[in-house]
Amino acid sequence: MFIDKVRISVKAGAGGNGAVAFHREKYVAAGGPDGGDGGNGGSIVLRVDDNLSTLMDFRYKRKYTAPNGENGQGKRCRGKNGENLIIKVPRGTVVRDLATNEIIKDMSDSDDFVLCKGGRGGWGNQHFATPTRQVPRFAKAGLPGEEHDVILELKLLADVGLVGFPNVGKSTLLSVTSNAHPKIANYHFTTLYPNLGVIYVADGVSFVMADIPGIIEGAADGVGLGHDFLRHIDRCRLLVHVVDVSGSEGRDPVEDFDAINAELSQYSPDLATRPQIVVANKTDIMEDESLLDALRAHVAPLGYPLFALSAASHTGTRELVLKIAEKLSTLPPVTVYEPEYVPKPVKIDASEPLKITVEDNTYIVEGKWLERLMSNVNFGDYESRMFFDKMLRENGVFQQLEDLGIKDGDIVSMYELEFEYQH
């Protein structure tokens, strides 16, 4: 079964908690804090696998969760990081945000992509020892990992797309010009999923051609099979439009040509302007040459080259291949979609009160919404820090600290962040 569009939920692992521990050794009266840090959570990583041709593996498994980081231990032992979860996808898979449909990543190159980053591990109490706080009895919890609902959409990476009505000879044309072996039979919808073939023209000259299941009228609106696979010609630089001119099924080649172009235009206006080569196929069994003449006269004003041939008897196919290669040499490379997604500011429900404890003039602030907020803040970025400060003020965190008697110079500890309070 060919699966080319799925929805999945992914969640990176949470960071492990830091440890509260103290050095214990014979003849050492006060060894001091030695709690280790928690390990970082595993990330969700997408990787291209050229052995995959569909999204079939995602049909039954829709949720993916990376391992959490391990908690820290005594003797300054850091917890083990959670392993990254590698999700393999076919080349050409486009990753979209479920909520906005924006493109997050086009998996057309060979580089791994971190879709969700694992949470940072919490600090052990070894980090919180100061000259005035020599016995810190607290550590920090790890932060949660990122999570995302996404759509994976496979768009084939092909230079040339074969389009046309069912049973016009697209699969036959692909089979005689390449090493592909698509299913071929004399009935409609023999091709139920796209087939790819590599056409070798000469030394160092080749291109990839895709046989798209037959399009029918109404395909852009979801009629027939074509609707499911029209996305696979989005990237094609050139369309080869195959038309049956034999008259064996009583079809009008001109009407067929216009109908297919209308469906392409309705699906995507960009496809209407995509370069085309028209193939008048099945000339070996042509019953009325006027059908070919009418198609040639109709196509000529549009500027599309027309090749009359018979794919079944291999007549004229070499000339067509050479023309395709010549045309491709003048066209831009296969489209790679640029990311559109911009992470939105995290929505925080601050209705749940924070827990604030005081130890050795250190105000330890904890809470689920604060934890979530901090996991989405880049403290190395000024704008992000200002957003964090604004959220704290708007939700009354500083006011709560002042109500508890905090003074300038006291320490505020929030998970992996620690700073001196200044009014």
Can you list the domains of the chain with their CATH numbers? 1-155 (2.70.210.12), 160-328 (3.40.50.300), 346-423 (3.30.300.350)
Element (H, E) at 279: strand 276-281
| Ordered per-residue pLDDT tens for the chain, 423 residues | 567 889 999 999 999 998 988 887 766 556 788 889 999 999 999 999 988 888 888 988 999 999 999 999 988 899 999 999 999 999 999 999 999 999 999 999 999 999 999 998 988 888 777 776 777 777 888 888 999 999 999 888 889 999 888 888 888 899 888 875 544 444 444 445 678 888 898 888 899 998 887 665 554 455 444 456 677 888 899 999 999 999 888 889 999 999 889 888 888 888 888 999 999 999 999 988 999 999 999 999 999 999 999 999 999 999 999 999 999 999 998 888 889 887 776 667 778 888 888 887 788 888 888 887 887 777 777 877 888 888 888 888 989 999 998 888 888 888 778 888 887
Which of 162, 302, 158, 160 is closest to 243 using CA atoms?
162
- Contact by Cβ (8 Å): 295, 278: yes
Q: How far apart are CA 279 and CA 286, in angstroms?
A: 14
| Global confidence as pTM | 0.75
Which of 158, 200, 193 is closest to 177 using CA atoms?
200
Q: Buried b vs exposed e over 132-168: b needs ≥16 C-beta within 10 Å?
A: ebeebebbbbbbbbbebebbbbbbbbbbbbbbbbbbb
Residue 213: how many other CB atoms lie within 10 Å: 26
Give residue for tokens 């934890």. Answer: 371
Element (H, E) at 104: strand 103-107
